[in-house]
């Protein structure tokens, strides 16, 4: 009986000692945190990375289809940036997305279609202005028209959800290994039952699709209005 009592007493004493050690360590940690001496306590939490893993990045973009799509792209997701909703494809790109730009498109018709939507849309987002200016500077072919587009963008009024043209459909007008011309159809609150269309020319340069600026840096001369989407493929945006 005594042996059992002593063994039980020893267990209780060990547990009590362990509890005291934990309590002391906890108090010391709080004091260090308040004094700013504990580097782990003062270090800010690191946000989870949004970039894809190395294995995922190696597969992006993975699209290799050389035929022009005639139906909706199968793997699109949509995200809002400022007033606009933009398409992203796991296979066609973009694969390198920053706070202002979206790059890394497949060297395929599907890659060109998504690139046209992304680049053109971002050139009109001026809140913040860096979305438009950095997209133009990095992803529009250099030349007088690009300089004019950049200058006009710096002074234009911010686009709102009420005034923005939301992507509705696309039509591939022509495609080759180094040039793609895509007509983008958009809805606008001011044009009920009609669509604004603009032809977007892309060039394959420096291992990615880049936009050719519209003449004189303005879409006004090439934009058109149509009451129908005949000949277009709808994006299928939710």
Would you say residue 13 lies in a domain? Answer: no
Look up the pTM and report it.
Answer: 0.76
- Partners of 208 in the β-ladder: 205
Would you say residue 5 lies in a domain? Answer: no
CATH number at residue 115: 3.10.450.50
pLDDT tens string 163-190 = 888 999 999 999 999 999 999 999 987 7
Tokens representing residue 108 in the block: 């395929």
In the chain, the number of structural domains is 1
Would you say residue 31 lies in a domain? Answer: no
- What CA–CA distance (Å, rounded) separates 140 from 118? 12
Would you say residue 175 lies in a domain? Answer: yes
H-helix segments, the chain: 2-35, 39-42, 54-58, 109-122, 129-139, 144-155
Print the domain residue range for 176: 54-234
Would you say residue 12 lies in a domain? Answer: no
Q: State phi, psi for 40 to the nearest 5 degrees.
A: -70, -35
Name 107's Cβ contacts closer than 8 Å, sequence gap at least 6: 177, 204, 209
Would you say residue 73 lies in a domain? Answer: yes
- Residue-level pLDDT, tens digit, the chain, 238 residues: 334 333 443 433 333 333 333 333 333 333 333 343 433 333 333 333 344 433 345 578 999 999 999 999 989 999 999 999 999 999 999 999 999 999 999 999 999 999 999 999 999 999 999 999 999 999 999 999 999 999 999 998 888 877 888 999 999 999 999 999 999 999 987 788 899 999 999 999 999 999 999 999 999 889 999 999 999 999 997 6
Would you say residue 122 lies in a domain? Answer: yes
């Amino acid at each position: 009986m005594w042996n059992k009592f002593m063994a039980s007493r020893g267990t209780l004493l060990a547990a009590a000692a362990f509890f005291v050690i934990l309590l002391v360590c906890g108090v010391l940690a709080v004091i260090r945190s308040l004094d700013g001496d504990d580097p782990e306590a003062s270090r800010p939490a690191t946000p989870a990375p949004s970039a894809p893993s190395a294995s995922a990045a190696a597969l992006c973009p993975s699209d290799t289809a050389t035929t022009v799509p005639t139906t909706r792209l199968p793997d699109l997701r949509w995200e809002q940036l400022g007033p606009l909703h933009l398409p992203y494809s796991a296979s066609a790109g973009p694969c390198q997305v920053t706070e202002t730009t979206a790059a890394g498109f497949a060297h395929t018709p599907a890659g060109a279609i998504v690139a046209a939507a992304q680049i053109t849309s971002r050139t009109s987002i001026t809140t913040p202005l860096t979305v438009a200016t950095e997209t133009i500077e990095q992803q529009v072919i250099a030349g007088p028209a690009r300089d004019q587009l950049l200058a006009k963008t710096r002074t234009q009024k911010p686009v709102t959800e009420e005034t923005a043209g939301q992507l509705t459909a696309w039509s591939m007008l022509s495609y080759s290994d180094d040039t793609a011309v895509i007509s983008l159809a958009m809805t606008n609150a001011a044009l009920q039952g009609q669509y604004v269309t603009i032809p977007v020319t892309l060039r394959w340069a420096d291992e990615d699709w880049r936009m050719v600026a519209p003449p004189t840096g303005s879409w006004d001369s090439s934009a058109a209005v149509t009451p129908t989407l005949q000949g277009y493929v709808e994006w299928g945006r939710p």
